[in-house]
Amino acid sequence: MSYDDSNIFARILRGEIPAKKVYEDDHVLAFEDISPKAPVHTLVIPKGPYKDLAALAAQGTDAELAALVRALAKVAEEKQTADSGYRVICNTGEDGGQEVDHVHFHVLGGKPVGRMISRAVMAEG
């Protein structure tokens, strides 16, 4: 499936929907999640039209990829989670729990975020 430029993150990038920006550069935008799952819950997205991580890896430029990794660390540092710890999540596809078809990363912190996957979920597989 190709990239759908009507998704909510594409609309945020175009300024059609407001977002509480945390960080921005030429390649990346970071903003607060509207339904936070932790005291710190920031979304970090590339500005390019990439549906998922596979598309970003295949089509993204070295500059975009480097800017993304730097932005993830910068957001964690600015949100004061770098010393206490944080988690970066990138959900991909239906089984991975991706809800918006624009690749995005969740930076979670501000409290212990628990196990990555519960043992119950692993037992079901």
Show which residues are catalytic.
104
Query: What does the H/E/C string look like for the chain?
Result: CCCCCCCHHHHHHCCCCCCCEEEECCCEEEEECCCCCCCEEEEEEECCCCCCHHHHHHHCCHHHHHHHHHHHHHHHHHCCCCCCCEEEECCCHHHHCCCCCCCCEEEEECCCCCCCCCHHHHHHC
